[in-house]
Amino acid sequence: MNNLNIELCPETGICSIIKGDGTKIDLMPDEVEGVRDAGGNPEVIQQTLAAIDASFAQGLKPDELAAISKNL
């Protein structure tokens, strides 16, 4: 079960993804678009996030990747 808090600012387009253990990644608007452009493909989403923070992306589980895809 995923335990993510996904916050997307409607004014700036900046997104924060916070895991249950407190680890966090911040995405700029173009990075959010990169996740959206992945079309729900978990491998591409993980690669996109790895370009920002490899250790955060590596620790994501399939259900968490699905939640990120659904909420962005």
The strand order across the sheet containing 15-19 reads 4-8, 15-19, 24-27
Residue 30: count of CB within 10 angstroms of its CB: 8
Q: How do the pLDDT tens digits run along the chain, 72 residues long?
A: 458 999 999 999 999 999 999 999 999 999 999 999 999 999 999 999 999 999 999 999 999 999 999 999
So where are the chain's domains?
4-71
Q: Which value, to the nearest 10 degrees, does the dihedral of the CA atoms of residues 16, 19, 23, 27 take?
A: -20
The helix-helix angle for 42-50 and 29-37 (nearest 10°) equals: 160
pTM for the whole structure:
0.89
pLDDT score for 6: 96
Beta bridge partners of residue 4, listed in sequence order: 19
pLDDT score for 2: 58
Collapsing DSSP to helix, strand or coil, 27 comes out as strand
